[in-house]
Amino acid sequence: MASTPLYAQEPAQFLRQLFDVAVARAQPLLNMPACLPTVPRGRTVVLGAGKAAGAMAHALDALWPQDAPLAGLVVTRYHHTPPRTAGLAQRIEVVEASHPVPDQAGLKASERMMALCQGLSADALVICLVSAAALPC
């Protein structure tokens, strides 16, 4: 006799397991390694924006070789910067600003991002970390 599936026996537990797996799968530290480019001969500059930009910046900082040049700036919504891993050098700055209506902090961050791109050579790499919800068409 076949047993009753978990979703029928314990629907709340089943839904919680689905939720936990989906949240874990969305974590940048778990997903980013497969997407990282090779380290260039020149500088690597990281730019980014979005509510998950801080988490993505922390993950990239942890995953990028510690002896490879890496610098950058990402902007995220106020109160959306996750805690950094203890002992990890901060090579990518995380700045908080208003969302969805930009404020002075967001404007200053965008100006600083533009400045980070000045003078890059052909050997440089720019990595853009962008998070956003899908908008209806």
d(CA 59, CA 12): 31
Per-residue pLDDT at 137 = 45
* Phi and psi, residue 75, nearest 5°: -120, 135
Q: What is the mean pLDDT of residues 91-108?
A: 94
- pLDDT tens for 2-31 read 676 767 788 888 889 989 998 888 888 888
For residue 135, give the amino acid letter: L
Q: What is the mean pLDDT of residues 80-84?
A: 88
Query: What percentage of the chain exceeds 70 in pLDDT?
Result: 93
The CATH code of the domain at 37-127 is 3.40.50.10180
The two tokens of residue 12 are 């709340």
Q: What is the mean pLDDT of residues 104-128?
A: 96
